[in-house]
């Protein structure tokens, strides 16, 4: 081999060795790059794996909290008024014809019709065989003529009218009898006619004998009694009217130095005047003042010295002298109620203003006496004596009126919130013997009145309150709390549909998410509705339904059964508009479904108007966003679920990248350390568990129909190898200890 050939061989060998060195350097750089990438992927995998489990724990914690805490979430439909289902009877009043007639119907329907037309007061009146409904809103106009009663005779004397009208007759109490006397002083009727005749003659004789020693002059409702002078310490003066009290203070002063003091006492039919400052008579012309007694039971002195004709609180008419009962009316046993005008002080025909008459007293025609409690009355009219009880003119449990009377009722929680069985600690002005309606009317007239307490016992009591105070139970009382706003106005909330979320916020559904259904209609007999009419036709109900279903905006229709006239109406039909009573017409409203997210329920709970109003007052109402709306726990974990999905996708990417690197190293004949191989295996195993959990979660999601995950078991997403994987990667120092050999070895060039 010549030098030239040797040199060529050397150059070829150097070239070949250089190629080996270049290949080694190139592979070394590639392996270094892959090793660094593998290091980073291992770190990213562990970080994302830990973040995956942390996010999963957050989701499960939120789901647990949602299931354990109060769940406000629900769909609601306002389809029931807060008022209108109950009412309070205010009283039976004289018919003033001040209420609006709305048709013939039952009591319950009349109350409903009053609510529909936003009138707080209603009355059902039996007229010409029909129960007619009247409604109104002016309490004062209805009650202005007072209460109406039925008066029931419990006992009546024999008819004593022989001729004429009895206008000159008198009823008089004598010594041991009472008698009806004609203009000629003849006894027409008595508990004992013979004794009454003798006692009447004796009374006439005594009057002639006594003359007119006692004189009275009236002044401003008071009377003056001229006593005159007296030589003895006591002077006795006959009284024509014993239903008086007499002051002992002289009303005349004839001498400035006159300082005599007196005592005045009524005993029997006489006034006893006694000088008390000295044991002697007086020379002055003494004049005393008297006034009528206002009311009261007979005093002990009166009972002992007089015969009394008494009407008792239990309705007995008794003639009594001292402790002896001389006569009792054989009356019917009839219950009665308090009549305000029968209370003696209020009774315009009871001149004595008390529940009894005594010897010498009399009644003229059309006069009366009445029991102290105002429940019974004895009247003298047309020459006869009658004992009366009273009942309301309104009848049955619903207190129905008639042509002469109005059984007035108020819808509860309209003008007043009526709380039966409650009282309060607040003080106030007290009025007695008035109806519940009058009590409310008095409160209405006082701007400072916040309400009233009404109690029915033996008599009625009304306490007008400017301060309510503490409310407590009292079965005999009712609290009438004045409403600042008319609750009937809450009907504006009828028909609203919404969703209450887990934070107790109400979200109203827009009309775009409410779709009418063809399968369901609600019907209301004898009812019509406001709202826009979109089509008028003739036909039956089935034809009306078919026609309505063809129109996406049709919310229902009215059907007149007499004329077969049909009016299709749009979505402004009831409950968006008022409904009201209309005979021979039926209302049909179309059902609907909610076009909401599949995490939301499609059914809804019926609530009352005040339920929605409370959220309105608290400013806790928003409008549903159709694009982002979800319900239940889905609202809580929606963001976390999206993050979990993103992490899962990164873990997939990390695992695929590691697999790619191992394949590249294998092509480079790199012998990978068994620890690194184990890490790859555990990464694949961990990803497999994540994939299984995610698959389970997706299966759950497919079956979710309402309230997010509510009602499902907690989703299991445990990955058991996480701790081992983390430990292995941490202790490997991320160098991966990769050993490698190049095929054919490494040849180095050397000089011989």
pLDDT of residue 237 exceeding 60:
yes
Distance CA 592, CA 614 (A): 25
Report percent pLDDT > 90 for the chain.
37
Closest CA to 407 of 418, 391, 394: 394
Tens digits of per-residue pLDDT, 78-91? 887 777 678 999 99
Residues 524, 112: contact at Cβ < 8 Å?
Answer: no
Residues 229, 283: contact at Cβ < 8 Å?
Answer: yes
Distance CA 96, CA 91 (A): 14
User: What value does the mean pLDDT take over residues 215-236?
Assistant: 70
What pLDDT does residue 471 have? Answer: 94
pLDDT of residue 163 exceeding 50:
no
Distance CA 154, CA 173 (A): 21
Measure CA 231 to chain center: 77
Count CA within 13 A, CB hemisphere, residue 663: 6
Report phi then psi at 274, rounded to 5. -125, 135
What pLDDT does residue 33 have? Answer: 86
Measure CA 65 to chain center: 34
Residues 258, 284: contact at Cβ < 8 Å?
Answer: yes
User: Locate tokens 């004789």: which residue?
Assistant: 205
Q: Strands, DSSP E only, in 624-676?
A: 670-671
What pLDDT does residue 283 have? Answer: 81
Q: Can you give the pTM of this predicted structure? A: 0.62
Closest CA to 91 of 482, 462, 378, 372: 462
Count CA within 13 A, CB hemisphere, residue 300: 0
76-85, 317-326, 465-474, 601-610: least confidently modelled range: 76-85
Tens digits of per-residue pLDDT, 632-658? 777 778 788 888 889 989 988 988 888
Q: Is 454 helix (H, G, I), strand (E, B) or coil?
A: strand
Distance CA 681, CA 468 (A): 78
Residues 181, 200: contact at Cβ < 8 Å?
Answer: yes
pLDDT of residue 735 exceeding 60:
no
List domains and CATH numbers for the chain. Answer: 14-70+633-740 (1.20.120), 167-188+195-392 (no CATH), 510-595 (3.50.4.10)
**Per-residue tokens: 92:** 């039976």
Which residues face 461 on adjacent strands?
432, 455
**Per-residue tokens: 552:** 């996406």
Angle at which helix 722-731 crosses helix 674-703, to 10 degrees, equals 150
Contacts 24+ apart (CB under 8 A), 741-748: 741/669, 741/671, 742/20, 742/23, 742/24, 742/27, 742/669, 743/669, 744/20, 746/20, 746/24, 747/16, 747/17, 747/20, 748/17
Tens digits of per-residue pLDDT, 664-714? 888 887 776 666 677 777 777 777 777 777 676 666 555 443 444 443 433
Tens digits of per-residue pLDDT, 507-548? 999 988 889 999 899 999 999 999 999 999 999 999 999 999
User: How far, in Å, are 8, 247, 540, 557 from residue 544 at the CA level?
Assistant: 109, 87, 6, 7
pLDDT of residue 165 exceeding 70:
no
Question: What 8-state DSSP symbol labels residue 715?
Answer: P
Residues 6+ apart with CB under 8 A from 179: 171, 172, 187, 188, 189, 190, 193, 196, 200
**What is the bridge-based pairing of β-strands 506-508 and 621-623?**
parallel
Bigger pLDDT: 692 or 2? 692
**Per-residue tokens: 427:** 């003080």
């Amino acid at each position: 081999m010549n030098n030239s050939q040797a040199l060529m061989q050397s150059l070829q060998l150097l070239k070949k060795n250089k190629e080996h060195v270049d290949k080694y350097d190139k592979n070394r750089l590639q392996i270094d790059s892959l090793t660094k990438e593998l290091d980073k992927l291992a770190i990213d995998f562990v970080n994302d794996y830990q973040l995956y489990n942390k996010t999963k724990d957050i989701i499960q914690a939120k789901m647990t909290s949602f299931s354990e805490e109060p769940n406000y979430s629900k769909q609601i439909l306002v389809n029931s008024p807060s008022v209108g289902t109950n009412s309070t009877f205010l009283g039976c009043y004289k018919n003033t014809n001040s209420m609006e007639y709305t048709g013939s119907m039952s009591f319950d329907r009349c109350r409903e019709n009053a609510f529909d037309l936003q009138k707080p007061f209603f009355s059902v009146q039996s007229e010409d065989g029909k129960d007619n409904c009247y409604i109104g809103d002016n309490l004062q106009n209805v009650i202005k003529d007072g209460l109406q009663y039925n008066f029931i005779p419990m006992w009546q004397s024999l008819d004593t009218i022989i001729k004429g009208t009895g206008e000159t007759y008198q009823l008089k109490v004598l010594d041991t009898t009472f008698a009806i006397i004609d203009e000629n002083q003849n006894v027409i009727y008595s508990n004992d006619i013979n004794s009454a005749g003798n006692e009447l003659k004796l009374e006439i004789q005594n009057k002639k004998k006594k003359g007119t020693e006692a004189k009275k002059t009236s002044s401003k409702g008071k009377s003056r009694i001229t006593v005159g002078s007296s030589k003895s310490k006591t002077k006795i003066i006959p009284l024509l009217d014993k239903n008086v009290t007499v002051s002992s203070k002289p009303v005349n002063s004839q001498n400035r130095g006159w300082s005599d003091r007196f005592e005045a006492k009524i005993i029997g039919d006489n006034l006893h005047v006694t000088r008390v400052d000295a044991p002697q008579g007086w020379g002055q012309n003494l004049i005393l003042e008297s006034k009528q007694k206002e009311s009261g039971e007979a005093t002990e002195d009166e009972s002992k010295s007089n015969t009394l004709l008494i009407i008792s609180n239990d309705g007995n008419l008794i003639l009594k002298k001292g402790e002896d009962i001389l006569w009792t009316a054989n009356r019917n046993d009839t219950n009665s109620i308090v009549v305000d005008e029968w209370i003696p002080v209020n009774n315009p025909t009871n001149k004595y203003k008390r529940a009894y008459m005594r010897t010498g007293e009399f009644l003229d025609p059309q006069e009366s006496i009445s029991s102290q409690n105002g429940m019974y009355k004895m009247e003298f009219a047309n020459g006869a004596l009658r004992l009366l009880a009273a009942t309301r003119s309104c009848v049955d449990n619903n207190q129905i009126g008639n042509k002469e009377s109005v059984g007035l009722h108020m819808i509860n929680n309209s003008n007043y919130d009526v709380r039966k069985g409650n009282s309060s600690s607040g003080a106030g002005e007290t009025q007695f013997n008035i109806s519940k309606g009058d009590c409310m009317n008095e409160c209405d007239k006082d701007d400072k009145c916040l309400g009233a307490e009404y109690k029915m016992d033996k008599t009625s009591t009304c306490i007008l309150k400017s301060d309510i105070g503490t409310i407590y139970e009292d079965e005999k009382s009712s609290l009438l709390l004045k409403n600042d706003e008319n609750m009937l106005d809450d009907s504006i909330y009828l028909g609203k549909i919404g969703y209450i979320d887990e934070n107790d916020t109400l979200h109203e559904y827009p009309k775009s998410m409410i779709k009418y259904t063809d399968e369901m209609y609600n019907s209301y007999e004898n009812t019509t509705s406001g709202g826009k009419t979109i089509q008028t036709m003739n036909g039956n109900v089935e034809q009306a339904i078919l026609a309505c279903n063809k129109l996406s905006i049709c919310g229902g229709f009215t059907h007149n059964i007499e004329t077969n006239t049909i009016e299709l109406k749009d979505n402004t039909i009831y409950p968006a508009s008022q409904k009201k009573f209309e005979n021979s017409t039926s209302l049909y409203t179309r059902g609907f479904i909610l076009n909401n997210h599949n995490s939301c329920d499609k059914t809804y709970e019926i609530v009352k108007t005040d339920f929605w109003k409370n959220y309105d007052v608290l400013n806790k109402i928003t409008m549903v966003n159709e694009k982002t709306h979800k319900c239940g726990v889905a609202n809580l974990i929606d963001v976390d679920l999206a993050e979990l999905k993103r992490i899962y996708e990164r873990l997939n990417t990390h695992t695929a990248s590691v697999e790619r690197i191992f394949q590249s190293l294998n092509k480079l004949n790199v012998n990978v350390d068994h620890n690194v191989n184990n890490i790859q295996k555990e990464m694949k195993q961990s990803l497999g568990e994540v994939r299984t959990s995610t698959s389970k979660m997706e299966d759950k999601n497919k079956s979710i129909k309402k309230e997010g995950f509510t009602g499902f078991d907690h989703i299991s997403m445990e990955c058991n190898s996480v701790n081992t994987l983390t430990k292995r990667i941490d202790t490997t120092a991320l160098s991966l200890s990769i050993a490698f050999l190049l095929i054919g070895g490494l040849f180095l060039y050397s000089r011989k």
